[in-house]
Amino acid sequence: MSRNKSLHDFEEIIRECVKCGVCQAHCPAYIATKKEGAVARGKITLAAALLDGETGLEERLQQDMSMCLMCGSCVSKCPNKVPTHEIVGAVRREFADKQGLSWIGKGVSTVIGSKALMKTLSKGGAMFSPLILKKLPETSGLRLRLFQAPGMKGRTVPPIAFKNLFNRIPEFVEGEPDKPIIGFFAGCAITYMYPEIGEKMVQILNRMGFSVYTPKGQQCCGIPALSSGNGDLVEELSDTNMTAFKEREVSHIVTACASCNGGIGEYYHTMKGDHDDFTNKVVDFSVFLKEQGLFETLTAMEKKEQRTRVTYHDPCHLKVQGITREPRELLRSLPNVDFVEMEYSSACCGLGGTFSVYHYDTSKEIGARKMPGLKESGAEQIVTGCPGCIMQLQDSINHAGLPVKAVHLLDLVAEALR
């Protein structure tokens, strides 16, 4: 029996949508397209019709359900807290179960479901990207595709690291004997695209005295599979990841990727079965560092004369959990930065898992909405806690022609502690 919830599991709460339209003002897909099928209440109406047999899995319904970033922005504003993102996920699983995965879904599932294939592709990409990708200015740290995939014209992508995270760090780093072992869930983006972020996370935790366990058996959190409707793969990955962290007794499982936190923490928690022993240990790095007193250590440090002006972008998977204060407090505590707020700091960047692959033009529109506020802030860097957001934000910045770099919050913490 599937451990993912089916559409029928949401039948009662689907009826609680009163079609008030509050979601319209907060749905990034609707703001960009102004189509009723893109907004939460439209999707809930379609889900109810599917349950009642008033519509089938038609192409139009699939198109409307694909116009969702599963960001949860609508849920936090909904008076009845109807979990539209979870309902959309259930409908997509029905599509996949009855009609098969799309070609994009098959490709994504094939890659994230095989660690060996992911290693091979990442190493191949690192070797050949200089030959096929035109380098953009050094301020961006990204490259521009010369051979464009359909619907992805002008997409900028980060260079792939030749050595992944597990080739850079030991699986276990010994800390002080009186302190607990901390598990680190790295995720795909940190492991293969931004391994330096993972290195810094391990170094910071170890500097605080903790032993750090980063099991090599861990795989993708499952968010891309969830977005594609591949419920079977989500279950397989969840089993693999929970098993990987049973090898050692860890007190916490720290994430440095907002999407991974939403996957192994929030989504695994909604699956059928008792996974609390695992999900209750999952914590975002900013929350953990605050709990362990690092903010006070940083605040006590002497402010540097030369400081970088930075602003912050809220990753959706943290925002919907209410994790918005801790990253800002961490930034304000740093001796090497001047933090300023920007307009639309909490607006979605436009990535949305596979959304930006299916709907890149709409994704660009969503990202472009943040650019005037970023420019007005005068920030040299836009900081966030999600590697996926870093990639998407930098793409938007490049298209806007702004001299700004998207970075991870841990980059600045590591710099301050260096």
pLDDT over threshold 60, residue 142: no
Which of these, 400, 265, 262, 413, lies nearest to 335 by C-alpha position? Answer: 413
d(CA 155, CA 143): 9
Q: What is the pLDDT of residue 125?
A: 63
Among 33-47, 53-67, 170-184, 189-203, name the one with the lowest average pLDDT.
Answer: 53-67
- Closest of 203, 215, 269, 207 to residue 247, by C-alpha: 215
Separation CA 147–CA 261 (nearest Å): 33
Domain covering 301-417 in this structure, CATH number? 3.40.50.10700
Is 90 exceeded by the pLDDT of residue 264? yes
- The ranges of the chain annotated as CATH 3.40.50.10700 are 301-417
Q: Say if residue 146's pLDDT is above 60.
A: no
Residue 329: Cβ within 10 Å count: 15
Output the CA angle 91-93-218, nearest 5 degrees: 135
Residue 5 exposure: Cα atoms within 13 Å on the Cβ side: 18
What is d(CA 406, CA 350) in angstroms, rounded to the nearest whole number?
A: 15
Rounded CA separation 274/9 (Å):
17
What percentage of the chain reaches a pLDDT higher than 90?
Answer: 68
Segment holding 311, helix H or strand E: strand 308-312
- Cβ 304 vs Cβ 384: under 8 Å: no
Q: Could you give the CA distance from residue 220 to residue 113 in angstroms, rounded to a whole number?
A: 8
State the pLDDT at residue 336.
96
In the predicted model, what is the mean pLDDT of the chain? 90
Question: What's the rounded mean pLDDT across residues 258-280?
Answer: 94
**Is 70 exceeded by the pLDDT of residue 147?**
no
SS3 of 134, please? strand
Q: What are 113-129's pLDDT values in tens digits? A: 877 877 776 766 666 56
4 touches 55 (CB < 8 A): no
Q: What is the mean pLDDT of residues 135-145?
A: 54
Q: In the chain, how many H helices and how many E strands?
A: 24, 12
- Per-residue pLDDT tens for 53-100? 887 777 788 888 889 999 988 998 899 999 999 999 999 999 899 888
Q: How confident is the model at residue 13 (pLDDT cuts 50, 70, 90)?
A: very high
Residues in Cβ contact with 346 at an 8 Å cutoff, skipping those fewer than 6 apart: 314, 319, 324
How confident is residue 102, by pLDDT bands cut at 50, 70 and 90? confident
pLDDT in tens, 292-346: 999 999 999 999 999 999 999 999 999 999 999 999 999 999 999 999 999 999 9
Which residues of the chain does CATH 1.10.1060.10 include? 7-100
Domain covering 165-291 assigned CATH 3.40.50 in the classification: yes
pTM of the entire predicted model: 0.93
Domain 7-100 class in CATH: mainly alpha
182-210 residues labelled b (16+ CB within 10 A) or e (exposed): bbbbbbbbbbbbbbbbbbbbbbbbbebeb
Residues paired with residue 311 on neighbouring β-strands, in sequence order: 382
pLDDT of residue 55: 74
pLDDT for the residue numbered 58:
78
